[in-house]
Amino acid sequence: PKITTTQRKELWKRTSFEGKGYRGLSDESLEFYGFRVEHKHGGKSVKAVYFPETRDGKLQGYKSRHDPKGFGWDNIGITGAINDLSGQCRFQEGGKYVLICGGEFDMVAAQDMLREYQDMKNQDDYNRYAVVSPTTGESSAAKQCRHHYEWFDSFDVIIVGLDSDEVGRESALKL
């Protein structure tokens, strides 16, 4: 079932938006996307990151990723390909560009890079570029994106930026 208010409050008690430089990602972008970070005892290293998942812009649950690469151990609520793309709820109006990345951390890294570009061009008061990722990995990207055709159609240019490995290349072709 969908995440409850009690479950969300419990998660928020033990987590924060502070990644403290985890994987080189900015706390600003982690907060922008609503990621929650749980630190190990002592607070110096990351235990898990929780990615919010929405459907029609409404919170359904949180997908978990335990460091270094353990997925789904502590998922809360409804998660998976039936939901919106990760980050999609942040860009409801459409726009000129949308970038599809291979995963949530790639999405945040790309957002950081594009935000730095806007700062360099003195455009830090501009809206952020739309950057999203599939919630269940690159291999299911085409299937999940297919369900959001109308949303993608609200952008002029769709950029596919998946990994350059075999899975990423095959998934990009399907997209």
What is the rounded average pLDDT of the residues 17-44?
A: 94
Predicted pLDDT at 1: 93
Strand, helix or coil for residue 94: coil
Is pLDDT of 68 > 80? Answer: no
* Exposure b/e, 44-63, CB count within 10 A at least 16 = b: eebbbbbbbbbeeeebbbbb
Burial (Cβ within 10 Å: 0-12, 13-18, ≥19) of residue 162: buried
- Average pLDDT over the chain, rounded to an integer: 95
The pLDDT tens digits of the residues spanning 70-101 come to 887 899 999 999 999 999 999 999 999 999 99
The pLDDT tens digits of the residues spanning 108-138 come to 999 999 999 999 999 988 999 999 999 999 9
Q: How far apart are CA 82 and CA 171, in angstroms?
A: 18
Q: Which contiguous run of DSSP H or E holds residue 151? A: helix 149-152
Rounded to the nearest 5 degrees, what angle is found at the Cα of 16, between the Cα atoms of 92 and 84? 25
Give Rg (Cα) of the chain: 16
Q: Tell me the pTM.
A: 0.93
